[in-house]
Structure 1
Amino acid sequence: MRLYAPDQEALQALSGSNIELILGVSNEDLQGISSSTSIANDWVQNNVLAYSSVIFKYISVGNEISPINGNSQYVNYVLPAIQNIQSAIASAGLQIIVTTSVDTGLLGSSYPPSQGSFRDDVSSYINPIISFLAQNGAPLLVNVYPYFSYRDNTGSIDLSYALFTSSSVVVQDPNSNLGCQNLFDAIVDAFYYALEKAGGSNIGIVVSETGWPTLGGTDTTVENALTYNSNLIQHVKNGTPKKSGSLEVYVFAMFDENVKSGEETEKHWGLFTPDKQAKYPLSFS
């Protein structure tokens, strides 16, 4: 599971559950943690060490921070905050991977996948983070949303390509001889190529968000959400054309966020309604 910030009740509920957790450092906490090792130590003490029976798999320091994302005020804090949390984790004698979560808006080119590269105006931000992750053997968490690519390009992207239901290869990459049968693979592989070009060829990717909304936008139906997530679960057992082997993926989200602001679709990504009713039957087996 993934929590975007520490929540006492959620961490208590996860204690002893044997559920592995991505725990987020909220964007608002980055400045303090980046500026002080004692603040980082206190964060680890209060939110990690205090829950010894929770299995912390990753600490995600910030979510979707970007020089071009409307949250650029946090950009300079991400890497030093990662370093301070990493130091605090090590000092506590813990083996928890420290990384950050980004979105695909950092990509400048992504088609075909072998052309994947980071935008020039984000390289000074992401490249030092990539170097840190490479040195520490940590993956990059990436939020991957074929839905948005499809919604914004319905004239050129077929729904079946977005929902994993294409019967054959749709995008044949002339530079790599690899073919993509679905949009998810194309996006993830573009990120792999971008990492290679930035000196991160040994960095793995964990898909820290993906899913399909059920209301409020183009082809946002319960049936499409079920199709996307069911096919996703089966598909990622085998990785992508560029990287075979299972790919670790987190489905967004557990619950609809009925009081969230923004576009109507933002409220309807959940597998469950806010009153805990399943919206459709989904098997993770």
Structure 2
Amino acid sequence: MSTESLGPPVRVTISHVVVDLCCVQDVLDAVARRPAAADECPLVIGSVNLDHLHHFGKGRAYRDCAELGPQLDWLMLADGAPIAARARLKTRQNWPRITGADLLPQVLELATRTGRRVGFLGGLPKVHDQLRTILGERYPGLQVVGLWAPDRSDITDPTRSDALAREIAAAGAHILVVGLGKPLQELWIARHGVATGAMVLLAFGASADFLAGAATRAPEWMQRSGLEWSYRLGREPRRMARRYLIQGPASLARLRKAEVGPAQSAKPHA
């Protein structure tokens, strides 16, 4: 995964979904610049893949994230290989595919160096036990202020979610890693992200599970070839079948027909 800059970040719209094209260093710089100030707009970093297009694309059930949470600064990265390929074709620049699983270790290294406090929302308690061990071994000095494993009812109930957001705010997390799966994590951040007090929120799905060793990623050659989906399907066929065999092909068909909006420079993420 290249960290070399390809010039200023570029923002495009694919099927009414905003995609920010940039390199890894651009993302890390955006995180580093985000001060822990109460009056600063929180930065949300998320990913756009076929699953995201299924939930948020044109004609889908939900509006684009930026419309759902206008009080947040959304940085939506080209995660899925088909999304990145379509963006490259439109802009004629070789923008990299950037995944949350690749970014998370680098964000944690940055947090360790700069003293940013980190919290994790989502996942199972047993995975959190594994995660605590890994974090202690790989990131000595990292300040982890909380790991929350709420039930789905806690996330979907507005009153319980309000209480959860206040609990996270009381813990003082500067960076909150949110792994609730799409579209729940984006919707929860849009509604409660500001109340958490975090200045950076990472909508990173199963990235913490990968880091903890509770789930395994595909070999690098499969990731480079855009075949990571087939590896995950083979590992978890019952859970992933609908996503990859029904929703995925339909989203890919829409992607091939989708209009790609005029490329324009993305706003700076101060």
TM-score for both structures, normalised by structure 2? 0.32
State the structure with bigger RCO (CA 8 A, min sep 6), 1 or 2: 2
Q: State the TM-score, normalized to the length of structure 1.
A: 0.31
Bigger-Rg structure (1/2): 1
Higher helix share: 2
